[in-house]
Amino acid sequence: MGKTTEYNIERVSDYKYIIQKSGQMRVPATIFTSPEYLELIKKDASYLQLVNVATLPGIISGSFAMPDMHQGYGFPIGWVAAMDLDSGVISPGGVGYDINCGCRLVRTNLRYDDIKGRVQGIVHALYNKIPAGVGSKGALKLGVKDMKKVLENGAKWAVKNGYGDAYDLEHTEDYGCISGADPDIISDRAYERGKNQLGTLGSGNHFIEIGLVEEVYDEASAAALGLHKGDVTLFIHTGSRGFGYQVCDDYLEKMGRYTRKAGLILPDRQLACAHFSSPEGREYFSAMKAAANYAFANRQVIMFNVVEVLSRLLKISQDKMGARLIYDVCHNIAKVEEHIVDGKQKKVCVHRKGATRSFPANHPDLPAAYKSVGQPVLIPGDMGRCSYVLVGAQKAMTESFGSTCHGAGRVMSRHQAIKSSKGRAVKRELEDKGIYVISKKNKTLNEEMPDAYKDVTKVVDVVDNIGISKKVAKLRPLGVIKG
């Protein structure tokens, strides 16, 4: 798919642009970004993908892009849309291959002095404990019976089997389990890929990060989340591993057949989809939930192991260390939610591909701990700069179906990053900044070098200025484990 500049982009405000409905578009396309990053968006196919998605049956109000948007499979990454439950569609490409890729942030009572001079040892200990890299396998070997329980119960399975406690579930989106998963529709190939990968990090942009709360912008919200300037934090970013990838692959094939059978005319075959109300649509939704639950369980097991390693290495009890989950959020998911559409409350299917739910204070779906401040929003940057914690805001409910950005967003493909990093020592460059990084392959560090990403601060400033989420704290990386 080539790049395009044929559509007129109207500037609505400092950080909001609209491509009005034309041709086969059923709704306008909205881009939340800065003038600087708008120019980057125009240079890759994500711009055309955003317009293509606006042609899908049953799409409601608009096709929405976040400032971290970049090209993905069929649908851009950094994208949100809501679909009508009767006339609308659901698409595996609109969720992504890594179903429920997401983030989990843990706060601790530790201060920088508690780990000063020990970050390198901590990183190596965590790397030795948490399998990372392409195809990595963990210590858990699950049979089909246990796998089915994971797919049905998500993080609840992990807690029941000793990997955490009820507090963790109360601080996880959907309480760590999306109901309605059907393990019996999952392919044998997906089971085979997932049976040895629970508790593993994977590759690409997935990471475990030891960080420090460097800045606090909203003292009250930060206190409600348990964050204070100078606190040591643990950040985990991963998803459903090979299991989720296989589920997506299986259903892209099935959706392709449905698209042809139903006579749906799509501008790109990668938009393969099925009507949400169809048997094929409902089946994918159930399979997606199973993969999402696998991801919740995966992050729960990893967190438990990370905390255990840190406690043992620092010779401090877990109670004294005070490691507690702040929140776990999904970045790639489709959910049935209630939103105001044309002035009326309506159930819709919201696709978020590279986007974070950003529900405001007092929203009924929030856990009791965060009713007063809104949903925690976790925005990882690149391994050389910083990450952010935000909270949901009321404006997200009217502007973006309760959604905000999910990260920095790539500006280079992995191939371009490898080419650009030739002759550079990325690991040494990061160490010179005081960040110790370890990875299974140097290639991964080159693919994930900071230059390959937008500046997450500029991305976060966009969503903060628009008002679809609100900045709370900035985290600085000290040590990073990459796949």
**With contact defined as beta carbons under 8 Å apart, do 240 and 294 qualify?**
yes
**With contact defined as beta carbons under 8 Å apart, do 108 and 322 qualify?**
yes
Is 415 labeled as catalytic in the residue annotation? no
> In this structure, what DSSP letter does residue 97 have?
S
Q: Identify the residue whose tokens are 């259903």.
A: 251
**96 torsion bin: left (phi>0), alpha (psi -120 to 50), beta (else):** left
Backbone angles phi, psi at 281, to 5 degrees: -65, -45
Positive or negative, the CA dihedral 160, 165, 166, 168 is: negative
Rg of the chain, C-alpha, whole Å: 21
Compute the C-alpha angle 427/331/298, nearest 5°. Answer: 75
Positive or negative, the CA dihedral 147, 149, 153, 155 is: negative
HEC secondary structure over 46-67 = HHHHHHHHCCCCCEEEEEEEEE
Extract the tokens encoding 39: 């120019």
**With contact defined as beta carbons under 8 Å apart, do 75 and 53 qualify?**
yes
**With contact defined as beta carbons under 8 Å apart, do 138 and 197 qualify?**
yes
Compute the C-alpha angle 264/403/248, nearest 5°. Answer: 45
* Cα→Cα distances 445→125, 147, 418, 441, 472, Å: 19, 32, 9, 7, 29
Write the CB contacts of 1 (distance below 8 Å, at least 6 apart in sequence).
45, 48, 49, 71, 268
* Cα→Cα distances 407→78, 425, 443, Å: 8, 24, 21
Which of 206, 351, 406, 415 does the annotation list as catalytic? 406
Alpha-carbon 144 to chain mean position: 27
HEC secondary structure over 299-333 = HHHHHHHHHHHHHHHHCCCHHHHCCEEEEEEECEE
Extract the tokens encoding 168: 């963790």
β-sheet bridge partners, residue 96? none
Q: How far is 456 from 217, CA to CA, in rounded Å?
A: 16
Q: How far is 60 from 434, CA to CA, in rounded Å?
A: 47
Active site residues: 406
